[in-house]
């Protein structure tokens, strides 16, 4: 009789343990499936925001980029007149770039996903570099307004080297932005939905 009770007790113990194991497995599966759904939703969020960011935020700014290209062309037509060129940068180019920077920074505040924020951060950096380049160039031009002393010539040459270095940074930032945009578009399978802005 005691043996039967032990057997029954043992059987009951193993049965209870089996139920606990099944509950653990079920809980794990629920967590795993929930995680997959969550990750899928996150992927959709990034992909959707990337398309919206590119098509609705950056594409309108592509017209600004074209305007800046035209301003640069005009600048090079007057660069032989340092005083006139400096005035043009001061009155036209720098205010234009300040407004552009303001627009790009305002986009950053409205972004939700880290990956798209990181992408726009590269654009912000590039825009800041461009502004900094023209600010330095304005200083170069002031130093080139006749009469130019030897000291002013040396200083302007040094500043112009800084401008060239900043321009290299601009190109690197532009390349990095384009590469990251392409990588994200491939990662979230939205390449066909992107309207690539003027770069």
pLDDT in single tens digits along all 199 residues of the chain: 444 444 444 444 445 666 655 555 554 444 444 344 444 444 469 999 999 999 999 998 888 989 999 999 999 999 999 999 999 999 999 999 999 999 999 999 999 999 999 999 999 999 999 999 999 999 999 999 999 999 999 999 999 999 999 999 999 999 999 999 999 999 999 999 998 764 5
Please give the residue range of the domain that contains residue 22. 2-193
Is residue 77 assigned to a domain?
yes
Is residue 199 assigned to a domain?
no
Is residue 198 assigned to a domain?
no
Is residue 148 assigned to a domain?
yes
88 within 8 A of 75, measured Cβ to Cβ: yes
Is residue 146 assigned to a domain?
yes
Number of domain units in the chain: 1
Coil/strand/helix, residue 46: helix
Q: State how far the Cα of 199 lies from the Cα of 181, in Å rounded to an integer.
A: 12
């Amino acid at each position: 009789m005691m043996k039967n009770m032990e057997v029954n007790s043992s059987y009951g113990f193993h049965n209870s343990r089996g139920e606990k194991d099944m509950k653990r497995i079920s809980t794990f599966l629920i967590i795993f499936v929930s995680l997959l759904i969550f990750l899928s939703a996150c992927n959709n969020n990034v992909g959707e925001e990337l398309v919206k960011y590119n098509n609705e935020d950056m594409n309108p700014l592509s017209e600004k980029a074209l305007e800046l290209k035209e301003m640069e062309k005009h600048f090079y037509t007057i660069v032989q007149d340092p005083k006139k060129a400096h005035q043009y940068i001061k009155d036209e180019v720098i205010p234009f770039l300040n407004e552009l920077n303001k627009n790009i920074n305002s986009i950053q505040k409205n972004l939700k996903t880290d990956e798209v924020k990181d992408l726009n951060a590269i654009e912000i950096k590039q825009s800041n570099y461009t502004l900094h380049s023209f600010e330095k160039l304005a200083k170069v031009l002031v130093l080139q307004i006749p009469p130019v002393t030897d000291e002013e010539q040396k200083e302007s040459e040094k500043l112009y080297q800084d401008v060239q270095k900043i321009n290299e940074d601009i190109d690197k930032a532009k390349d990095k932005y384009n590469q990251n945009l392409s990588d994200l578009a491939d990662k979230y399978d939205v390449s066909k939905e992107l309207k690539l802005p003027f770069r």
